[in-house]
Amino acid sequence: MRFTDLLAAANPFAAITTVDAHCDLFCGVYYPEQARIEAESVKNCSVKYHDSDDDVFRARCISIKEERAELVKHHLNVLWTDYFKPPHVAEYPQLHDLFWRATKAAGDAKKTMDVQAGDDLLALIDEISVIFWATKGGKPAWLTS
Amino acid sequence: MRFTDLLAAANPFAAITTVDAHCDLFCGVYYPEQARIEAESVKNCSVKYHDSDDDVFRARCISIKEERAELVKHHLNVLWTDYFKPPHVAEYPQLHDLFWRATKAAGDAKKTMDVQAGDDLLALIDEISVIFWATKGGKPAWLTS
Amino acid sequence: MRFTDLLAAANPFAAITTVDAHCDLFCGVYYPEQARIEAESVKNCSVKYHDSDDDVFRARCISIKEERAELVKHHLNVLWTDYFKPPHVAEYPQLHDLFWRATKAAGDAKKTMDVQAGDDLLALIDEISVIFWATKGGKPAWLTS
Amino acid sequence: MRFTDLLAAANPFAAITTVDAHCDLFCGVYYPEQARIEAESVKNCSVKYHDSDDDVFRARCISIKEERAELVKHHLNVLWTDYFKPPHVAEYPQLHDLFWRATKAAGDAKKTMDVQAGDDLLALIDEISVIFWATKGGKPAWLTS
Amino acid sequence: MRFTDLLAAANPFAAITTVDAHCDLFCGVYYPEQARIEAESVKNCSVKYHDSDDDVFRARCISIKEERAELVKHHLNVLWTDYFKPPHVAEYPQLHDLFWRATKAAGDAKKTMDVQAGDDLLALIDEISVIFWATKGGKPAWLTS
Amino acid sequence: MRFTDLLAAANPFAAITTVDAHCDLFCGVYYPEQARIEAESVKNCSVKYHDSDDDVFRARCISIKEERAELVKHHLNVLWTDYFKPPHVAEYPQLHDLFWRATKAAGDAKKTMDVQAGDDLLALIDEISVIFWATKGGKPAWLTS
């Protein structure tokens, strides 16, 4: 059984679209960058919070961070359950635990204004990103150029 | 180290609220019933779709099912990353994979009007529910009475 | 005229799906438990607020309570206008006022950190729940078992 | 007891803001026009649906109408439970039933492409609007000029 | 080329609906009043904030203002890109800059509890409203009566 | 007056955070990649639509495209009114019109399944991206590496 057949078997989209040797043709649009960008906002909310002594500004930092961390969780969940397929998990056995810790890190970042929580979250998303782009064979030119 | 200490160590809420031997005092409000109720809607959208030959009604079945399946995914993700802690995963090593398959089943149920997809989703949520209520020591009276 | 005919007359879904003697076949999926669960979160936000002296945590209690109370209002509104039909109102003449007070109680619970506001909200939802399950002839087994 | 005292007693905002003889000073911002505008969209989606034979356009009419009708329900619910107070209900005993029928009409308008459903919804919102503006003593100049 | 032809050329809806001399027949439902109403909430949140010394109430003023200002931005963006067409911009060359400043004013109003920020926002929306209703040939009777 | 002073004058955040010669210190987190990624989804929905003859799949392509195009509009609006400041507009006088056409292109892409509409949208976002990264002095390493 070829790798693409394995993916097709695991992916309901495969039944309704043309399948060939390139994952991109039926996987849709997934970018760990979406989670990463929101995680930068999460971190920045904590940085700016400590740079300010304005009560209104600080209250906004707390609530905007909450919202952005929720978006991180959403983007991570999409990657984990929509993009990744059983063959990926077979190749990267740490995948489930990595996503679990990253999503928990997003939740933890809601609960504190400690900048370290944002850095921890970014580091975990970067680990996911390395795996993701390895499975895709590299980033597209529009992103890197 | 006691079980509650382990939980406390894993849960940032624990640092800011009173911790005692009962998980409920600091875990917040979690119910797999939330995912289950939306999954019933998912299934019913497929059932009703096949019972109707009205084009407008059928279009609404497709889009309402989409929305409800998305809510299932959200509720499952909250349970997986907010409620469950490392000691739970140690006790139920199938937990990550079970949530992954359940969330994927919610995604699959978006892609088809086959009633079986709704039944599969319900069955996986029920598996999660059994584990969840075991960790809580049973359902509260308001739910069962 | 039979009771189910009355319901069918009042319910546009009835025109497009098979109608028989069991309400569930065309009523869709309604559970007062959805409002109740969010109302527990509302109450817990106030409880935890008073248990903490961390400013960031307390700010989060206020905003999460706001969001959860809004969800309570939404779930109550769905029950009131989607599930309940004229024959129900004829049988339970207090229904409109009960929903009005419950929804107002959700609004009131946004405005205070008094735990009593959460308890008042829960009590009103429980009143609605008793009526709801009476009209359904009892809870399903999956909920109570 | 003066009328404003009655309102103040019923309205938690009253405890925290200056109360005088004019309701507007503590009622916040409410406009039945918000529901009316979305209801116009609801109606127009049905009108345009029948003017077109493009499948994609018609599918969009169905889903946009669904979304707009949901917004009508939301705006009506806000008016009913946030703006209106017990003295209003005493003066307009039809208020609960009127809102119930209007919100149901929004739900009915989701289920059909019949333009009449949009007209029925608009007529019920206009009935609410007449009562609303009577309780406010007239529309503000910015709206009518 | 007639004015309506220009509008039709610029508006994809024009290709799928009947076009005649009145813009309303294909422009859909647009009202600057939607932005104005949310902007009143924005202003009122600041007014009420200063009238209160209750920490919970003030925290809610900040977050509700944030949410309402976001809705203002959304409604302005819909007007700017969905309603206004190239011939409008030709006639009102200040349009782009006016919308830019109004949307920025909504963003600015998030960042301060200064009531002036709400007044500035309202003034810019009123400028847009004058242009909008000029292009429509006047407000409909339901709004002004 | 230095460039950063101009930016600071135009940006309310500048008053509350440390300002130095690098825009990033007070501009927050902005990436045109967010709009671009959603625009890829918009285009792919049209591509997949034509590759399929499954009615349910095609209905989902229409509604998912609608949702993704709305996200494109949101991300573009954030860039236009939150990131870009008067000095940027002075340097790039086409900026307002470019954003207007890009946002309209997102609206147009909702209305058709023509793949060209997705390509047009992507091209306009790329134009914005070139300007954006020029104002930032280049992409960060995490994006390009």
Give the gap in angstroms from C-alpha B103 to the nearest C-alpha of chain A: 6
Residue B1, pLDDT > 50, answer: no
Question: How confident is the prediction for chain E on average, in pLDDT?
Answer: 85
* Closest E-chain CA to D145: E144
The candidate with the shortest Cα–Cα distance to A123, out of A109, A136, A143, is: A109
Length of chain A: 145
Look at residue B43 in the predicted model and tell me its pLDDT. 96
Q: Which of E62, E71, E45, F29 is nearest to A59 (CA)?
A: E62
pLDDT at A145: 87
More confident residue, E22 or D109: D109
Other C-beta atoms closer than 10 Å to the C-beta of E118 total 27
Share of chain B above pLDDT 90, in %: 80
Chain F contact set for A144 (CB, 8 A): 143-145
CA–CA distance, F79 with F38 (Å, rounded to integer): 14
Is A50:A115 a contact under the CB 8 Å cutoff? yes
Distance from CA of A100 to the nearest CA of B (A): 6
Q: What does the alpha-carbon distance between residue E51 and residue E112 come to, in Å, rounded to a whole number? A: 15
Quote the pLDDT of residue A67: 94
Please answer whether residues B73 and B81 qualify as being in contact, where contact means their C-beta atoms are separated by less than 8 angstroms. no
A141 CB neighbour count, 10 Å cutoff: 7
Report the pLDDT value the prediction gives residue B127, as an integer from 0 to 100: 98
Please write the tens of the pLDDT for every residue from F58-106: 999 999 999 999 999 999 999 999 999 999 999 999 999 999 999 999 9
Other C-beta atoms lying within 10 Å of the C-beta of residue A114: 14
CA distances from F81 to C138, E16, E89 (A): 54, 32, 19
In chain C, which residues have their Cβ closer than 8 Å to the Cβ of D96?
96-97, 100
Identify which of F115, F80, F82 has the alpha carbon closest to the alpha carbon of residue F100: F80
Asked if pLDDT for residue A16 goes beyond 80, the answer is: no
Across residues C37-44, what is the average pLDDT? 96
The chain-wide mean pLDDT, for chain F, equals 85
Q: Would you say A26 and A110 are in contact if contact means Cβ atoms under 8 Å apart?
A: no
Q: Which residues of A touch E66 (CB under 8 A)?
A: 60, 63
Terminus-to-terminus CA distance in chain E, angstroms? 36
At residue F20, the pLDDT reads 32
Q: How confident is the model at residue E105 (pLDDT cuts 50, 70, 90)?
A: very high
**Interatomic CA distance for residues E17 and E15, integer angstroms:** 6
The yes-or-no verdict on residue C12 having pLDDT over 90 is no
Give the CA-trace dihedral at C63, C64, C65, C68, to 10 degrees. 130
ipTM of the prediction:
0.81
Tell me the CB-side half-sphere exposure of residue F30, using CA atoms within 13 A. Answer: 24
| SS (HEC) of E35-87 | HHHHHHHHHHHHHHHHHCCCHHHHHHHHHHHHHHHHHHHHHHHHHHHHHCCHH
Q: Do D56 and F63 touch (CB under 8 A)?
A: no
Identify the CA nearest to F112 among candidates F55, F45, F51, F53.
F45
Question: Which chains have 3+ CB pairs within 8 A of C?
Answer: A, B, D, E
Q: Give the gap in angstroms from C-alpha E29 to the nearest C-alpha of chain D.
A: 6
Decide if pLDDT at D124 tops 90. yes
User: How high is the mean pLDDT of chain A?
Assistant: 85
In this prediction, residue D40 carries a pLDDT of 96
Nearest to E103 by CA among F20, A88, A17, F84: F84
Rounded to the nearest integer, the mean pLDDT of chain C is 85
Roughly what angle, to the nearest 10 degrees, separates helices B55-78 and B32-51? Answer: 160
Residues 6+ apart with CB under 8 A from C20: C4
**Chain B meets chain F (3+ C-beta pairs below 8 A):** yes
Q: How far is CA D136 from CA B75, B101, D28, D127, in A?
A: 42, 55, 12, 15
Q: Which chain B positions have a beta carbon within 8 Å of D63's beta carbon?
A: 59, 63
Whole-angstrom distance, CA of residue A43 vs CA of residue E54: 30
Give the DSSP per-residue string, F4-52.
Answer: HHHHHHH-GGGGTS---S-THHHH----HHHHHHHHHHHHHHHHHHHH-
Query: Does the structure show a pLDDT above 90 at A137?
Result: yes
For C89, the 3-state DSSP assignment is helix
Residue of F nearest to B66 (CA): F60
F interface with D, Cβ–Cβ below 8 Å: 59, 62-63, 66, 110-113
Q: Is C63 in Cβ contact with A110 (below 8 Å)?
A: no
- CA–CA distance from D39 to each of D43, D45, D69, D125 (Å)? 6, 10, 7, 8
Taking residue B60's Cβ as centre, other Cβ atoms within 10 Å add up to 21
| Interface residue ranges in chain B relative to chain C, Cβ cutoff 8 Å | 16-18, 28-29, 31, 33-34, 36-37, 40-41, 44, 48, 51-52, 54, 57, 126, 142-145
Are F102 and F20 spatial neighbours (Cβ–Cβ below 8 Å)? no
How far apart are the C-alpha atoms of B125 and B121, rounded to whole Å?
6
Quick: pLDDT tens for B83-135: 999 999 999 999 999 999 999 999 999 999 999 999 999 999 999 999 999 99
Structure tokens at C87: 């024959």
Smallest CA-to-CA distance from E56 within C45, B28, C120 is with: C45
In this predicted structure, the answer to whether residue F7 has a pLDDT above a threshold of 70 is: no
Please report all neighbours of A, defined by 3+ CB atom pairs within 8 A.
Answer: B, C, E, F
Query: A139: helix, coil or strand?
Result: coil
pLDDT digit string, tens, across residues D16-53: 233 233 333 344 899 999 999 999 999 999 999 999 99
Radius of gyration of chain E (CA): 18
* pLDDT reported for residue E98: 98
> Nearest CA to E107 among E79, E72, E60?
E72
Q: Are C and F touching by the rule of 3+ CB pairs within 8 Å?
A: no
The pair of structure tokens assigned to E31 is 């009202």
Mean pLDDT over all residues of chain D?
85
Structure tokens at D85: 């107070």
Neighbours of F122 (CB within 10 A): 20
Evaluate whether C72 touches C35 at the Cβ level (below 8 Å). Answer: yes
pLDDT band at D85 (very low <50, low <70, confident <90, very high): very high
Question: Position D56: which residue type?
Answer: V
Phi/psi of residue D66, each to 5°? -55, -50
What pLDDT score was predicted for residue E5? 38
Tokens linked to A6: 């394995």
For position C107, what pLDDT does the model report? 96
The pLDDT, as a whole number, for residue A122 is 98
The 3 state secondary structure assigned to B64-115 is: HHHHHHHHHHHHHHHHHHHHCCHHHHHHCCCHHHHHHHHHHHHHHHHCCCCH
Amino acid at E52: S
Residue B2 in this model has a pLDDT that exceeds 80:
no
**How many CB atoms within 10 Å of residue A4?**
18
What length does chain E have? 145
Task: Please give the pLDDT value at position F145.
Answer: 87
Asked if the model's pLDDT at residue B40 lies above 50, the reply is: yes
| DSSP assignment string, C4-25 | HHHHHHH-GGGGTS---S-THH
Say what the pLDDT of residue D28 is: 83
Q: Check if the beta carbon of residue A109 is closer than 8 Å to that of residue A121.
A: yes
- Chain A: residue whose CA lies nearest to C55: A59
Average pLDDT over residues E94-98: 98
Confidence grade of residue F28 (pLDDT, cut at 50, 70, 90): confident
Give φ, ψ of A11 to 5 degrees. Answer: -120, 110
pLDDT at A28: 83
The DSSP secondary-structure symbol of A13 reads G
Q: In sequence order, what are the residues at sequence separation of 6 or more whose Cβ sits closer than 8 angstroms to the Cβ of residue D42?
A: D65, D68, D69, D72, D106, D109, D118, D121
Which residue shows structure tokens 């979304």? D67
Query: Is pLDDT at D11 greater than 70 in this prediction?
Result: no
D66 within 8 A of B61, measured Cβ to Cβ: no
Length of chain C: 145
Q: What distance in Å separates the CA atoms of residue D57 and residue A110, rounded to the nearest whole number?
A: 42
**Cβ neighbours for B115, distance < 8 A, ≥ 6 positions apart:** B43, B46, B47, B50
Q: Reduce the DSSP state of residue E11 to 3 states and report it.
A: coil
Residue A134: the pLDDT is: 97
From chain F, the residues in CB contact with D60 under 8 A are 62, 66, 110-111
Q: What is the mean pLDDT of residues C41-65?
A: 95
Our answer on whether E and C touch (3+ beta-carbon pairs < 8 Å) is: yes
* Residue in B71, B129, B136, B143 to test binding to C, most C beta-carbons within 10 Å: B143
Q: How many CA atoms lie within 13 A of D137 on its CB side?
A: 4
CA-nearest of F57, F6, F31 to F132 is F31
- CA–CA separation, A122 and A116 (whole Å): 10
Judge whether F81 and E107 are in contact, CB under 8 Å: yes
Of A12-16, D63-67, E118-122, F24-28, where does mean pLDDT reach its minimum? A12-16
Q: Are A105 and A121 in contact (CB under 8 A)?
A: yes
Identify residues of A whose CB sits under 8 angstroms from chain F CBs. 16-18, 28-29, 31, 33-34, 36-37, 40-41, 44, 48, 51-52, 54, 57, 126, 142-145
pLDDT at C127: 98
The DSSP H or E segment spanning E126 is: helix E115-136
